[in-house]
A and B are shown apart, each in its own frame.
Chain A
Amino acid sequence: MKLSERKMEIALMGNPNVGKSTLFTKLTGVGVMISNYPGTTVEFKEGSFLRGGRKVAVHDLPGTYSLSGESEDEIVAIRMLAENRFDAVVVVVDATRLESSLVLLFQVIELGYPVLIALNQMDIAQKRYDIDLARLEGILGLPVFPVSAIVGEGVDELAQAVVSDRATRTGFKVSYDSHIEEHLESLAEGVPATQFPPRGAMLKLLEGNEYISSLYDEGTKQKAYLAAKEFRADHGESINIHITRDRYGEAGRIRKEAVTPRQGPLTMRDRISDMTMRPATGIPILIGVLAFIFLAIVIMGEWLEHELEDLFGMVVGDVLVDIGRSLAGDFGAAVGSGVTLGIEAIVVLIIPFVMVWYVILALLEDSGYMPRAVALLDGVMHKVGLHGRAVIPMLVGIGCSVPAILATRTAGSKRERLILSTLIVMAVPCGAQMAIIVGLVSRFVGIAAAAGIFVMLLALLLVLGFAMDRWLRREPTCLAMEIPDLRTPTARNVAFKTYSRSRDFFMIAFPFLLVGSVLVEILLSYDAMDFIVEPMSFITVGILGLPAVTIIAFVFGILRKELAVGMLVTISGVGAVGRLPEFMDPVQFVVFGVVMAIYMPCLAAWAVLMREVGVRNALLVGAASILTALLAGGAVNLVLRTLF
């Protein structure tokens, strides 16, 4: 066998939320984020697998409904298709939503690619329909492989088929309206050869696809343009609408032939799904879900915090201090204790609150509840200049702002992305900020105080959103989103997501912590702290009424928010998180919590912000956040001091 025969390049294509990423993970073993809502994959992935002596490179293309090349995703998908000469395209078809999947399949076939069909979600589909696979294969002239990517069924057979070159160029054709066919015929005549078959390429030209048009000469383009124009004059509707209508017509016929629905009573799942979407029942459910999330984080988190604190004291104790002392005497011991405190702060604060949240987030994502909340909240969100889709990045932002800012890419317009990113950075507490609010404020001051801070942040979010909506020029984008079926989340995927999302808190926070502790100890031992502490005390003491040294925590908070708590424990000299009340009084905890929640995004978030919304905007957001934090902290201090 020649080497060139051994290596293969294949692409995975399909509608959004059809399970491409799940299948990709199952095929290649490369872990990617999977959720039950459209648009999870914002950047396409590449991986490979080895089978039967052949190496297969797999490209996971973004999910699209068509290949017309209108949205960003479609342009990426069509360019990837055109530029990589894939040996096979695996079209992932959702067995429960055959029609829209088939419409995309037709377009891949028309462009002349050898195709394999992965008929996904078979586990769910079989409960509702009888699907005649042989009939489907017969009509389409393509091999069809039933899979349920989520449980991993059928993936093996699919991989085997890929390496056995089962992918087929089918003779199947969608028959279009006779006028479209006439145009196709006259256009395809004498057209210069490209990598695409003339009929398929001419369809794309009639649809006005820019990428494929660019492969042809002016004369051909002009002819296609005139044909489309003539069609519109004749029919009073654009040719795109007619082409797509015919594709859906064909898809509907195929579905009728190959799929027989089983008439059964409404399942429990259908009923719940229905309830989540009727305003009368949906709104109470939404409020219930949010209340549950808040209580789960506070109660579960505090319980875990307590347990972990004891465990940490038992396991780690003074080990690092002793190691430090043996390496570098008293200085080493001081660094050791700084690191110990920092780790304790991470373990005791971050793990309980961040991980509990990530489990909840994964459950929300995988169940398919998220898009339902999006639809319910869309009306309200319009009042603050966003649409309901913004709920998803915001919820992701409760974990970490970095992926949340990336997730704003689905928001549509630039303006919306800027509003959304600003709100995420300023008014949505990230995991570390959450841990400070719940782990310090709720624990040492009371649950009402923590709830108060959340209400304040919510108010900030609404005011900021409303104000930005007024200031920035309106570019309307409106919601158009498919709502997936409700599904029971799998423990495996929830665990994987929780793990990969919380990993950074350890992998990245740790080195920072080590360096930071060494730095602080050096500063302390040379009494150099006063250079920062004294000049800034007009803010810390004067405006905020906090101990002057808290400025160190604020400075480290700019690097990473979770460092702030460790530093607070170190500089306060109390020796453990649990003894912080000896250092600050309840009002100071609340003020500290407010300022930490609002001010300055951490370095990583800021870097992403800069990349996504531009340096100028990022600087503005940074400045605004510091100002707002000081104003809010000062106001809270003033009000609480007068009241208590």
Chain B
Amino acid sequence: MEDYLLAIYRLNKEGGPAKTNDVAERLDISPASVTEMVKRLSELGLVDYERYRGATLTRKGYRQAHRMERKHRLVEKFFVDVLKSDADSAHTSACHIEHGLSDEAARQLCRIIGSPDECDCEELCEDLCENRRLGGTALSELKEGESARISHLICDSPEKVRKLISMGLVPGRSVRMESDMPMRGPMVLRMEDSLVALDRDYTRLVMVDREE
């Protein structure tokens, strides 16, 4: 059930309601059983389900999924940073462990592998700082020709985040790194049809998941 929640969470993040077929494809399960499960989730008050439109997480569902996503990333990071496993096996392990990890254990883990004092933006983005500690890949780490999907933005200065949003760098969109300019110049990025030159001070604030 938690896997369903997480799949809907991720599809929602990529923009809009999660269609049953998309959830089925992601989890490799027949659409019919997805529909049944989504109905159960909706009875539990975790998702809003509209026929033809798809499923959106309710606040309660969102919180639950969000916490799981964090646990997942935390375990992943632990496996990569501390146990030195490769990203793939870290992901697989995380998929199993995330369900059994208590909140208390997650917090402990976070204290061990994260460094809470690197953030100075206080209460304003407490949660984002947690995101930052949980790691991921920054857009600035991409190599020429690599594509990725934006997962979230790091709050550094609100002004920069606003600029990023207004240029269309929002979670869920795909970006392709076209070219890296010399002398620590900007990166040229392609998003759908548009081409954007963006300084490193911006690209390091954009966290992404690499794509094929």
Interface size on B, residues (CB 8 A): 57
Write out the residue numbers on chain B whose beta carbons fall within 8 Å of the beta carbon of A274.
178
Q: Is B1 an interface residue (CB 8 A)?
A: no
Whether A175 sits at the interface, judged by CB under 8 Å, is: yes
> For residue B14, which residues in chain A have a CB less than 8 angstroms away from its CB?
249
Q: Per a CB cutoff under 8 Å, which of A65, A277, A380 touches B167?
A: A65
Distance of A380 Cα from B182 Cα, bound (Å)? 8
Report B169-181 CB contacts with A as 1/0, cut-off 8 Å: 0111100001111
A483 close to B197 (CB less than 8 A): yes
Which one of B15, B181, B186 contacts A245 once the chains associate, using CB atoms below 8 Å?
A: B15
Q: How far is the CB of A562 from chain B (nearest CB, A)?
A: 37
Asked whether B196 lies within 8 Å of A480 as measured between CB atoms, the reply is yes
Q: Looking at the complex, which of A80-88, A184-192, A353-361, A369-377 is the stretch in contact with chain B?
A: A369-377
Interchain residue pairs A-B with the least CB separation, the first 3: A249-B15, A379-B183, A236-B127
B88 at the interface (CB under 8 A from A): no
Does B3 lie at the interface of the complex (its beta carbon under 8 Å from any beta carbon of A)?
Answer: no
Decide yes or no whether B66 CB sits under 8 A from chain A.
yes
Tell me whether B171 and A241 are in contact (CB under 8 A): yes
Among residues of A, the one whose C-beta sits closest to the C-beta of B180 is A279
Q: Mark A366-402, 1 if CB is under 8 A from B, else 0.
A: 0000010011111110110001100000000000000
Q: Which residues of B contact A148 (CB under 8 A)?
A: none
Is the CB of A244 closer than 8 A to any CB of chain B? yes
Contact residues in B for A277 (Cβ distance below 8 Å):
178-179, 188
Q: Which residues of B line the A interface, CB within 8 A? A: 12-16, 48, 56-59, 62-63, 66, 124-125, 127-128, 130-131, 152-153, 155, 158-159, 161-168, 170-173, 178-186, 188, 192-202
List the A side residues contacting B182 at CB < 8 Å. Answer: 279, 283, 376, 379
- Tell me, rounded to whole Å, the shortest Cβ–Cβ distance linking A630 to chain B: 34
Question: For the complex, what is the distance from the CA of A237 to the CA of B199, rounded to whole Å?
Answer: 22
**CB within 8 Å for A233 and B127 given contacts A68-B162, A246-B15:** yes
Q: Which of B152, B159, B183 contacts A380 (CB 8 A)?
A: B183
Contacts A178-B58, A244-B165; A480 near B199 (Cβ below 8 A): yes
Interface presence of A100 (CB below 8 A) = yes
B181 engages A375 (CB within 8 Å) = yes
The answer, yes or no, to whether A502 is at the interface (CB within 8 Å) is no
Residue pair B199, A479 in contact (C-beta under 8 Å) = yes
B128→A70 contact, CB < 8 A: no
A378–B199 Cα gap in the complex (Å)?
9
- Whether A517 sits at the interface, judged by CB under 8 Å, is no
B159 partner, pick from A70, A100, A182, A382, beta carbons under 8 A: A70
- Find chain B residues with CB under 8 A from A479 CB: 186, 197-199
Whether a CB of chain B sits under 8 angstroms from the CB of A103 is yes
Q: Are B196 and A379 in contact (CB under 8 A)?
A: no
Query: Which A residues are in CB contact (< 8 Å) with B163?
Result: 70-71, 480
**In the complex, what residues of A have CB within 8 A of residue B180's CB?**
279
Q: Mostly helix, strand, loop or mixed at chain B's interface?
A: mixed
* Residue A232 is within 8 A (CB to CB) of chain B in the complex: yes
Query: What separation, in Å, do the CA atoms of A105 and B193 have in the docked complex?
Result: 17
Which residues 248-293 in A have Cβ within 8 Å of B in the complex? 248-250, 252-253, 255, 274, 277-279, 282-283
Closest to A182 in B: B59
Query: Are A248 and B193 in contact, CB atoms less than 8 angstroms apart?
Result: no
User: Cβ of B13: which chain A residues have Cβ within 8 Å of it?
Assistant: 245
Residues of A within 8 A of B (CB): 64-66, 68, 70-71, 74, 96-100, 103, 175, 177-179, 182, 232-238, 240-241, 244-246, 248-250, 252-253, 255, 274, 277-279, 282-283, 371, 374-380, 382-383, 387-388, 476, 478-484
Closest to B190 in A: A483
Report the separation of the CA atoms of residues A237 and B159 in the bound assembly, to the nearest whole angstrom: 15
Residues of chain A contacted by B168 (CB below 8 angstroms): 65, 99-100, 103, 248
* Complex contacts, A237 vs chain B, CB 8 Å: 127-128, 131, 152-153, 171
User: Which chain A residue lies CB-closest to B164?
Assistant: A480
In the complex, given contacts A179-B59, A248-B168, what are 5 additional A-B residue pairs having Cβ atoms less than 8 angstroms apart?
A70-B163, A246-B15, A375-B185, A377-B185, A380-B183
With known contacts A244-B170, A252-B15, A480-B167, A374–B62 Cβ distance under 8 A = no
- What is the minimal beta-carbon distance from B142 to any residue of chain A, in angstroms? 15
Complex contact A482–B196 (CB within 8 A): yes
Q: Which residue of A lies closest to B167 (CB)?
A: A480
Pick from A232, A248, A252 the residue with the most CB of B within 10 Å: A248
Contact partner of B16 (CB less than 8 A), chosen from A66, A74, A241, A253, is A253
Check A96/B193 contact, CB under 8 A, given A379-B183, A476-B201: yes
Among candidates B59, B178, B183, B195, residue contacting A234 with C-beta atoms closer than 8 Å = B59
- A74, A103, A246, A249: most-surrounded residue (chain B CB, <10 A): A249
Q: Is the CB of A375 within 8 A of B186?
A: yes
- B62 adjacent to A179 (CB under 8 Å): yes
Q: Which residues of A contact B161 (CB under 8 A)?
A: 238, 240-241
Residues in A whose Cβ lies below 8 Å from that of B152: 236-237, 241
